[in-house]
Amino acid sequence: MTLTILDARPNTDETTRATVLFADLRGYTRLAEQVPPARVVVLLEEFFSVLAKATEMHGGQIFHMAGDGMMAGFGVGDRAKDGAREALASGRAMLTNFASVARRWQRELSIDTAIGVGIHLGEVALGLLGPPGRQAPTLVGDTVNVAARLCSRARAGEVLFSSMVATALVDDTSGATGWSPQFRQLPQFELRGRNAPVDVWCVPAPKRLPL
């Protein structure tokens, strides 16, 4: 499998309004403990392939893949879109498409795994970071931090998204908001390292999901 980070055309002098998505693998610590490293590589390639396909299918840009997690941006540099609807659709596709993979891993390895997703919308800076000769485009700012914290709070099989994303979905004038009556508003979250609490919505996990 070949993973491609899309050309983000970084410009450190400007910010852009975009939606940031984080996704990571739940159950990875146990998997890495019980499965030989060479096999873990193969499993992670399959996992990241699911994330990459769901991201690119909905027009997202992959900015970072490492360990058992991924960061992607939607609507980056596109003044006509904020990326909220696309990010949520991508996150839901990740959960749906990984479900069969997780069931197979459970049968073959007796290990329960799932994905947790966090999504936030706001201003981000797009720039190149890293040592000389190895710089890569990335997104920076409070929006990124909140999306990452939401991902860490999401339970296995959940998508957590902020009220900024919820508002964008409701106000979407494209005629296809992606809003669902299944979405639940949760109590405000106090996110680690952040002064103000965050209003959060949830795409609930299926009842029979492992973990």
Query: In this structure, is residue 113 part of a structural domain?
Result: yes
Kindly state whether residue 3 falls inside one of the protein's structural domains.
no
Confidence category of residue 51, pLDDT binned at 50, 70, 90: very high
Q: What is the distance between the alpha carbons of residues 83 and 58, in angstroms, rounded to a whole number? A: 9
pTM of this structure: 0.86
Between helices 84-109 and 37-57, what is the axis angle to 10°? 150
| Chain segment 134-165, per-residue pLDDT in tens | 878 889 999 999 999 999 999 999 999 999 99
Does 81 map to a domain? yes
- Domain CATH number, residue 110: 3.30.70.1230
Instruction: Identify whether 91 is part of a domain.
Output: yes
Q: How many domains does the chain have?
A: 1
Is residue 73 assigned to a domain?
Answer: yes
Residue 185 dihedral angles phi and psi, to the nearest 5°: -85, 130
Confidence (pLDDT) at 112: 93
Number of CB atoms found within 10 A of residue 89's CB = 18
Supply φ then ψ for residue 207, to 5 degrees: -60, -35
Residue 168 included in any domain: yes
Residue 210 lies in a domain: no
**Domain residue limits at 135:** 11-203
Q: CB–CB of 122/17 below 8 Å?
A: yes
- Alpha-carbon torsion (32, 113, 99, 95), positive or negative: negative
